[in-house]
Amino acid sequence: MPVSRRLIWGQEPTHLPPLNLTQIQLDSWLWFISDGIKEAVAEISPIEDFTGKNWLLEFGQYSIEKPGLSPLQATRKGLTYSSALRIHTKLTNKQTKKTSSTEVFLGDIPQMTPQGTFVINGVERAVVNQIVRSPGVYFGSELDAATGKLLYSAELRPIRGTWLEFEVSKSDVISIRVDRRRKFLATTILRAMGLSEYPDGLEAAAAKDTTKTTEDALIEVYKKMRPGEPVVFSFSIPAAMTWGLSAATKSTSASGLLPIPESSLVTIW
């Protein structure tokens, strides 16, 4: 049939509009400059000294200076295309109520080029976006080929911090893997956290657990997480600081301390 006699009931195909493939990079960068830095500063401001009674440091408005060279100049000279980040700070003496304000240089921030790239040490680089699994609790199961038993697992993935993976063996022993490396019995981790009573389902793990006290569990966790490093105990004996460790075995009623037997003294590395 000639083309002129064909009837097209659908929409005629049109050309796709030109796509700005770098727009997602530019939008993300603009958000970081306008809001991201502000949110990061708000998380840590104000800052107090460790006693909370003497000094208070507050952060105010920040400013980003213009780059001192163009992206092409940075590429030719092997430099980084960046700008200086400065922020206004106010330091307050809580004792005297005196304050002093000044502008502080925080560092240089690499700047994004109109093409959505960065120039680092003369080399043009780009940020590659990737999909990251959301934080939360994930449950899974796997069929054991030998026994035909369904083995369950769970993962605790926080936004920041340690990943915990719970696994159930063929003999119903529940274990916990820390940061996808070392594996401990669930009762060992719970005992190291100071818990002495366990919920139902941990009988098999408790039967294999060799630790008896919280100190034993802490040592067990430390040895596996830092193999080869000596175990260090940190404690404070005010009387021993004056009279020596040997004085800790004597009566210290004047300082309010209980007598410590010589067998309880620990070598400090």
Residue 4 lies in a domain: no
Residue 13 lies in a domain: no
* Banded model confidence at residue 13, pLDDT cuts 50, 70, 90: low
Spatial neighbors of 167 by CB under 8 A, at least 6 apart, are: 151, 153, 174, 175, 176, 177, 183
The whole-number pLDDT of residue 121 equals 93
* Banded model confidence at residue 233, pLDDT cuts 50, 70, 90: low
Domain identity same for 88 and 180: no
Instruction: Give the Cβ contact number of residue 189 at 10 Å.
Output: 19
CATH number at residue 174: 3.90.1110.10
Structural domain count of the chain:
3
Domain identity same for 38 and 120: yes
pLDDT higher than threshold 50 for residue 93 = yes
The percent of residues above 90 in pLDDT, for the chain, comes to: 19
Domain identity same for 77 and 120: yes
pLDDT higher than threshold 80 for residue 53 = yes
Domain identity same for 77 and 95: yes
Q: Is 112 exposed, middle or buried (0-12, 13-18, 19+ CB in 10 A)?
A: buried
pLDDT tens by residue, 171-198: 888 888 888 788 888 888 888 888 877 7
Residue 106 lies in a domain: yes
* Banded model confidence at residue 118, pLDDT cuts 50, 70, 90: very high
Please give the mean pLDDT across all residues of the chain.
80
DSSP output for the chain = --GGG----SPPP-PPPPP-TTHHHHHHHHHIIIIIHHHHHHHH-SEE-TTSSSEEEEEEEEEEPPPSS-HHHHHHHT---EEEEEEEEEEEETTT--EEEEEEEEEEEEPPPTTS-EEETTEEE-PPP---PPSEEEEEEEE-TTT-PEEEEEEEE-SSS--EEEEE-TT--EEEEETTTEEEEHHHHHHHTT-----TT-HHHHHH----SHHHHHHHHHHHHSTTSPP------HHHHHH-GGGGGS-BGGGTBPP--GGG-----
Last residue in a domain, options 125, 154, 188: 125
Last residue in a domain, options 103, 125, 147: 125
pLDDT higher than threshold 80 for residue 156 = yes
Domain identity same for 108 and 64: yes
* Residue 264, amino acid: S
Domain identity same for 159 and 220: yes
Residue 259 lies in a domain: yes
Residue 1 lies in a domain: no
Domain identity same for 27 and 121: yes
Cβ(204)–Cβ(172) under 8 Å?
yes
Domain identity same for 57 and 116: yes
Residue 179 lies in a domain: yes
Domain identity same for 74 and 142: no
Domain identity same for 221 and 249: no
Residue 213 lies in a domain: yes
Domain identity same for 62 and 88: yes
Structural domain range at position 196: 136-225
Last residue in a domain, options 102, 125, 148: 125
Which pair of tokens denotes residue 263?
């067998």
Residue 8 lies in a domain: no
* Banded model confidence at residue 147, pLDDT cuts 50, 70, 90: confident
* Banded model confidence at residue 75, pLDDT cuts 50, 70, 90: very high
The whole-number pLDDT of residue 78 equals 92
Domain identity same for 117 and 176: no
* Banded model confidence at residue 79, pLDDT cuts 50, 70, 90: very high
* Banded model confidence at residue 81, pLDDT cuts 50, 70, 90: very high
